[in-house]
Chains A and B, each alone.
Chain A
């Protein structure tokens, strides 16, 4: 009993770290561009598919960790320029546009990758003893990688010029533009980074989950909830909320089946949303 609890709690924690990456992408796209990105789950899905193709063509899984975010970044920048820029941050229109984008991404993957879900074997097999249970090494590695990416992203945001620009544009766009910050380029960059984060999350998650053209559909509500519960615009809060949510769901799964666990976490979430719509971590310094 305690073994399954520990196992599911660990799984939840690691899944939460991956979700945190994806949700961060969603949050910066929303915060900077006012875009409600319905296609964000599909950005994740593209990451898993790119990882699969990389493994298929090069025989090297590790390359996927570079190729997936790279392709994600290029696609994201392109999408911002072609689709998002013309609608100029009207949130209602962004829903329709990204819904269309979601269909295009899913269908393109269905054409090239095929409609059947596939699995990738973890590149590191084997288990190690951890708190008395045998735990898959790859999952530990995935957690470390996600943590590194999260840390890297926050360092980039806090300590580089471009990161500071991004924060400036989010904080006050007009002043930022008046100060000579190239807002248009920052938008393109932000969308690219948002896509890249989700695609990287996809590459990390590919051996844990299945690779499927509909793989993003379940992820999307979860990411939105992390963004809202963490507090809109609160990036560390978003990451913390994602981990917390997945961890909780993992724990509930040890006593109930996954659907009940999902329902329980949704009920919890709606209660939270009604009691504290400003998010769990209001007051946390950005």
Chain B
């Protein structure tokens, strides 16, 4: 075992232990507010992961993931507020509508690549953003729709719902972890290898018999699923849905989080998202113009760490490994773009 794997496993355990102890540890040292903030970071990390799945693993840069996030949100919001659904059907409606939208737009969008793909995903998301703004009776426009939270589980008179902060946190943690685990399994599977082949060279991938169009479509729907789950969770978390989350700038932020963290790595989006949201929260309480710091940070990271923060970290660890005489030289699959 190389020093890198040892250190990374240790860090993973610490990270997992931290996430599990957040509802007790964080209020003791900081405040209740940070429990919710960490929950929010988890949701946005999932959203950044959907950008990362497309860009980091398949090589498609989507600037329209906010569309599927928005569909997840509105599936939940409209489901509860107007169709009177309870928690789980609304959750399902959010995810299914996001995936359905991803399928419909993906059938068209994945015919294009690179710049054209980026533009068409922006165009699609803008169309539905403006539609959502116009159809005020259904969507509430920019003001959005507020709804009261139905209970998640109600067994023998015992009710668990998001009104309990600890329950809310663990529900979000469990859902996000499950999604990341699914993504981990996919990237390790033959399907994931096919994705990487397409990312690195789509012509060669098609020459060895991979159906590039279909695989891209599958990835697009998967990314729609991740964004949809994130959107649905965010709707539950905020108890509202709003068109403003479908604007292209929301998609752009996720692209930045994923690339700053390290595209093509599982943990990159989590690290990028945490960094930006924590800075935003810490600075914005003290200084109104926190966006300046975020802007400078984004630029510094791409100049100093072009492979993202995870890439920077791995490079540092590989230097450690090469100094270690017992380390064996292993050729690992490159997962940075």
Contact = CB atoms under 8 A, between A and B. Distances in A.
A260 B134 CA distance: 8
A12 B294 CA distance: 36
Interface size on B, as a range, is: 35 or more
Contacts, number: 116
A87 B302 contact: yes
A100 to B, nearest CB: 3
B55 A225 contact: no
Nearest to A93: B302
Contact of A38 (B123, B252, B296, B301): B252
A270 interface: yes
Contacts of B263: 92
B202 to A, nearest CB: 15
A107 to B, nearest CB: 4
Interface string A219-258: 0010011001000100000000000000000000000010
Contacts of B294: 100, 103
Contacts of A263: 127, 130-131, 134
B243 to A, nearest CB: 11
B317 to A, nearest CB: 22
Interface string A90-109: 10110111011111101110
A50 to B, nearest CB: 19
A32 interface: no
A277 B116 contact: yes
Nearest to B112: A277
A103 B291 contact: yes
Contacts of A87: 302-303, 306
A221 to B, nearest CB: 6
A259 B131 CA distance: 8
Interface of A: 36, 38, 83, 86-87, 90, 92-93, 95-97, 99-104, 106-108, 110-111, 217, 221, 224-225, 228, 232, 257, 259-260, 262-263, 266-267, 269-270, 273-274, 277
Given A38-B252, A217-B249, 19 more contacts: A36-B115, A87-B302, A90-B306, A92-B263, A93-B259, A93-B306, A95-B61, A95-B256, A95-B259, A96-B298, A97-B302, A99-B252, A100-B297, A102-B295, A103-B291, A107-B291, A110-B289, A224-B122, A257-B134
